Amino acid sequence: MGTLGTDNWQPATFVFSMRWIWIDKFVEFESGRRAVAVKNVTAAEEHLHDHVPGFPVMPECLMIEGMAQTAGILVGQASDFQEKVILAKISKAAFFDYVTPGDSLRIEAQIGTISPEAASTSGRITRGEQLIAEIDLIFSHIDHNLGGKRFPEENFVFTGAITSLLRDFALSGSPSGVRGRESGE
Amino acid sequence: MTMSRDEVFQKVQGVLVDALGVEEEEVTANATLMGDLGAESIDFLDIVFRLEKAFAMKVPREELFPAEGLLNNPELISNGKLTAKGLAQLREKVPHTDLTEFEKDPSISKIADLFTVNAIVNYVAGKVNAT
């Protein structure tokens, strides 16, 4: 397992074997501008039985994670996944209703600003017509912000599991060199 | 576009309230970003983005918060204090900040205290009224 903060940082192996994907698919993707992903909430998600017993609701932190993945991929793809993009700050996270099994969430993220060191995004989560959450994030391009610290050469942020979500969109650049095929739209 | 210093202060105040989650009354002219308002390094990026949006202008982070670049240069630091060369470079990079107190004891642990609300207001007012 890795120990963050030492000079010889190794990515923890669980990143590559555990699935930690909180969006199901992208339905819209405008490179460098905005992206929309879908997350379907199912009673088969184990944690819902404990959160909360008798009243399963999707934890807000996982909605933030879904937005972070949507927005993070949007930001990462804007630089052809050459930057290691890491969530650095949650500027705003406001929630307006509970999300329960059977709900289909639409997660929309828009890029606010991108600079060499960081990026800001704004986003909304909706369920049909209803606004569920507003989440604004700041991402850091860590290579630009932690000069001197050595990180693994490969981009450990954007693994195949994440970038395969973009396979339906004709976009350039993924760490494994796989290019999206033409979308039917 | 010309703005009075008061107008600039109001807007900068709003930016800091949003970025740092503090109350308006806490954002006084002499409040330090890190000491008084609890800003951390990632907040500096947030502040820059919001200032750019609020004032519709580019704010290169090294212009607003240049001290970070100096801290890693061994020619400019000695025994935890800025050398004469380091001080000269700092003076050049932060014309919008008053260094008289700092120069009496230029220890790098005190550099954070230079980042005051006033420093940001000075920088923005200068830039906004120059265009």
Q: What is the pLDDT of residues B4-22, one digit of tens each?
A: 999 999 999 999 999 999 9
Residue A181, phi then psi, degrees to nearest 5: -85, 165
Give the model's pLDDT for residue B17: 96
Token couple for A74: 């949007």
B62 → chain A, closest CA residue: A117
Q: Are A141 and A151 contacting, i.e. CB atoms less than 8 angstroms apart? A: no
> What number of C-beta contacts closer than 8 Å exist between A and B?
32
Give the domain ranges of chain B: 1-61+115-131, 66-112
B19 → chain A, closest CA residue: A91
Where do we find the tokens 């850091």? A140
Using an 8 Å CB-CB cutoff, list residues of chain B that contact chain A: 18-19, 41-43, 45-46, 48-49, 52-53, 61, 72
Q: Which CATH superfamily is domain B1-61+115-131 in?
A: ACP-like (1.10.1200.10)
Grouping H, G, I as helix, E, B as strand and the rest as coil, residue B112 is helix
> CB B75: neighbour CB atoms within 10 A?
10
A137 → chain B, closest CA residue: B46
Taking the C-alpha atoms of residue A74 and residue A95, their distance in angstroms, rounded to an integer, is: 22
The closest alpha carbon to A73, from A177, A175, A185, belongs to: A175
Token couple for B24: 């308006």
Taking the C-alpha atoms of residue A164 and residue A180, their distance in angstroms, rounded to an integer, is: 9
Question: How high does pLDDT run on average in chain A?
Answer: 82
pLDDT at A93 over 90: yes
Rounded to the nearest angstrom, the minimum Cα separation between B94 and chain A is 21
Give the model's pLDDT for residue A123: 98
Give the model's pLDDT for residue A144: 62
Q: Which CATH class is domain A18-159?
A: alpha beta
Q: Which of A12-26, A59-73, B102-116 bottoms out in mean pLDDT, i.e. has the lowest?
A: A12-26
Q: Are A33 and A111 contacting, i.e. CB atoms less than 8 angstroms apart? A: yes
**Does A117 sit within 8 Å of B53, measured CB to CB?**
no
Q: Which of A47, A49, A51, A144 is catalytic?
A: A51
Interface test with B, best of A86, A110, A114, A115 (most B CBs within 10 A): A115
Task: Please indicate whether residue B40 or residue A144 has the higher confidence score (pLDDT).
Answer: B40
Q: Which of A5-14, A97-106, B113-122 bottoms out in mean pLDDT, i.e. has the lowest?
A: A5-14
Cis peptide before A52 (omega within 30 of 0): yes
- Window 29-88 of A: residues touching B by CB (8 A cutoff) are 88
**Does B52 sit within 8 Å of A89, measured CB to CB?**
no
State the average pLDDT over residues A58-83: 94
Rounded to the nearest angstrom, the minimum Cα separation between A4 and chain B is 18
Give the domain ranges of chain A: 18-159
pLDDT at B61 over 80: no
**Does B49 sit within 8 Å of A138, measured CB to CB?**
yes
What number is the ipTM of this complex?
0.73
B52 → chain A, closest CA residue: A113
CB-nearest to A113 from B41, B42, B52 is: B52
Taking the C-alpha atoms of residue B37 and residue B26, their distance in angstroms, rounded to an integer, is: 7
Q: Tens digits of per-residue pLDDT, A7-62?
A: 555 554 444 445 688 999 999 999 999 999 999 999 999 999 999 999 999 999 99
Token couple for A126: 């909706």
Taking the C-alpha atoms of residue A168 and residue A183, their distance in angstroms, rounded to an integer, is: 5
Give the model's pLDDT for residue A179: 34
Active site residue A51: yes
Q: Which long-range contacts (CB under 8 A, 24 or more apart) does B26-29 make?
A: B27/B117, B28/B117, B29/B116, B29/B117, B29/B118, B29/B121
pLDDT at B53 over 50: yes
A172 in reach of chain B (CB within 8 A): no
The closest alpha carbon to A125, from A69, A185, A178, belongs to: A69
